[in-house]
Amino acid sequence: MMRYYTIVWLTVSVGGWCFVHAQTAPQILDQTTKTYAQLRALRLECRQEMVWTMKLQGSEMRSTQASQYQALAMRPNYLRMVARYEQAGTVTNEMGVWCDGKDLYIQNPMFQQTLKQVAPKTLREVYTEKNLEQASFMPIGLDPVYLMAHGNWRKIAGQPRLVKREKLGNRAVYRLSMPIKPPQMFQSLQGGSARTSAYQILWIGVQDRLIWQSQVVINLSDKQMQLAMRSTERNTRQELNPRLQPTAFAYKPPQGYEIVSEFKMPDFTGATSALKGQPAPEFALKDLQGKEVRLADYKGKIVVLNVFAHWCGPCRKEAPELEKDIWQAYKARDVVVLGVAIWAHDNPTKRAEEFAREFKLTFPVLVDAENKVAEMYKVIGVPTTFIIDREGIVRELVVGADVAAIKRAITALLDAPQQP
């Protein structure tokens, strides 16, 4: 009889203990947030892999980018966060945010500039979406530095779900999944008309309640295109409350970087702009019927040379406007539109045919399968349009989808007195 009561007592006690210590996903995330929010300092090392996949008209393009970053954070307002991107095993870019307690430095590798400002008073004001984006980071979801600085996961994440308990290497972890707010760049794509979803998976240590791995998945789709991004981060080292000195947050700009009070947009089109006033480079390409077409064939006409890619959203928006508002409106006045399809990842002729058929293009579309015209005309982005006069001189170029600007350039040439 005594044995029976002992078994009952143990069953109730153990069952009660398990019930009390049962963990829900919000409880686990609250404990993780508390762990980071109470820190005085943090050292973090991480490896990241970002995979982009785009599906368009039956074709799929994929790109992968690896990076590694290190972060040092210390209250009240010290931060050193540096990311190095890798290509074929070689570091190609370094970007980062530094705050040494007195000054805030934001290093942007695209601009080759470093923004210098007076340091904010708190880590929360240093680690912001705006500051990270200015350094070319894409802040997405929850991470240790965010939780240390802001101490509230509910601002950017929805209700979490506990998927299961499992092993990550030799470490027991909880795997949690939750919806998150997409980055601003995704929200603004396609003029806000696309459907966007985003969620994050976190692997949180059972014993230490630290984030050891994160995966963010973002999907965007509209009628023509599907875009997916998957970012996986593995935290390889975490030190809680390390002994850090203010000198660890000192900033030294790389050679050639300019310190600025506000970022100045570089002239990315410098080499392209240099073509203005020069003879348009001659080329010969095949059209969709396989006939060879030369730029010289149109001497004596005004040529609107539109360089595009079949997967480019702005190009797709611009194409029907070029057909209606430029080609149909001006062809009777010796104005010709030539479309040049570049940067196709597979079957360039087929992709150009599909593009022309979808938008009912009747002006000549040429296939630049080897991207020779893109190279000759120094094209760095699409769409780019060159307006060439009757003598074969480049008179204007328009970067981006801007049919109104193309119209103005054509009108200026039509109104100009012709040479006898």
Q: Which residues are catalytic?
A: 315
Cβ neighbours of 380 (radius 10 Å): 13
List, as one string, the DSSP characters of 44-67: EEEEEEEEEEEEETTEEEEEEEEE
Q: Give the CA angle between residues 146, 27, 29 to the nearest 5°.
A: 20
How many residues does this entry show for the chain?
420
Three-state DSSP state, 209: coil
The CA-based diameter of the chain, rounded to the nearest angstrom, is 121
Q: Give the CA angle between residues 271, 272, 276 to the nearest 5°.
A: 110
Extended beta strands in 276-391, E state: 284-287, 292-294, 302-308, 335-341, 365-367, 384-388
Q: Which two tokens stand for residue 72?
A: 């040092």
Cβ neighbours of 13 (radius 10 Å): 10
| Rounded distance between C-alpha atoms, residue 288 and residue 349, angstroms | 7
Q: Which two tokens stand for residue 64?
A: 């992968």
Residue among 233, 42, 275 nearest 141 (CA): 233
Helix, strand, coil percent values for the chain (each to nearest 5): 30, 40, 30
| DSSP 8-state code for residue 277 | T
